Amino acid sequence: MPSSKTKHCLAFEHHDHRRCQSQLLSAARELCHSRNIRLTERREQVLQILLQSHQPMGAYEILGQLNRNPEASNIAPPIVYRALEFLLELGLVHRIECKNAFIGCVHPGHASTAQFLICKGCEKVAELDNPTTSLQQEASQVGFMIDHSVVEITGLCAECQAND
Ligand SMILES: [Zn+2]
Ligand SMILES: [Zn+2]
Ligand SMILES: [Zn+2]
């Protein structure tokens, strides 16, 4: 089994997700700590929910999971949106526009550029590591300063192609 401690697993690869999840959670905690930002219990809960799988989740689905907790009573949508906003700004989660959903980041700390492979079969989303695309390179060649660049690529992962 391939194992490297800090490198994340691509969502489509078979991997020990529980380990992946706990690594991502501790990376998030470290990031907050190093920036002197408080990851409140609610924000951490939202992040934990998003890290349960590599499938993106809508805000209402997150809300439903939060309210399933017997200790929480009637958490309202704005609370979830605020937590998501915080997590988005820090680069701990990303928004997947084409799904109107959110996903935990696999290498936390970058907020405005990301590339995703989105499988239409299993609905898993894999975030690519590559910080610059050729598109971004071309933009910078003409002196364009990018402030937001999110690439969403849809298709079928290897496993879903095999199951087709
Ligand atoms: Zn995983
Ligand atoms: Zn990311
Ligand atoms: Zn798939």
What is this structure's pTM? Answer: 0.87
Residue 59: which of 82, 39, 42 has the closest Cα? 82
Contacts of 154 (CB under 8 A, 6+ apart): 98, 118, 119, 120
- Please give the domain boundaries of the chain with CATH numbers for all domains: 17-162 (1.10.10.10)
Which contiguous run of DSSP H or E holds residue 60? helix 59-68
Contacts of 104 (CB under 8 A, 6+ apart): 24, 47, 50, 51, 92, 93
**41 CA to centre of ligand 1 in angstroms:** 22
**112 CA to centre of ligand 2 in angstroms:** 9
Residue-wise pLDDT for 18-74, tens only, equals 999 999 999 999 999 999 999 999 999 999 999 999 999 999 999 999 998 777 778
**164 CA to centre of ligand 1 in angstroms:** 23
State the chain's mean pLDDT as an integer. 89
Confidence of residue 4 (pLDDT cuts 50, 70, 90): very low
Which contiguous run of DSSP H or E holds residue 64? helix 59-68
| Residues, Cβ < 5 Å to ion ligand 3 | 119, 121-122, 157, 160
**Closest ligand, as measured to the CA of 118:** 3
* Percentage of the chain lying above the pLDDT 90 cut: 70
**107 CA to centre of ligand 2 in angstroms:** 5
More confident: 118 or 148: 118
**Closest ligand, as measured to the CA of 54:** 1
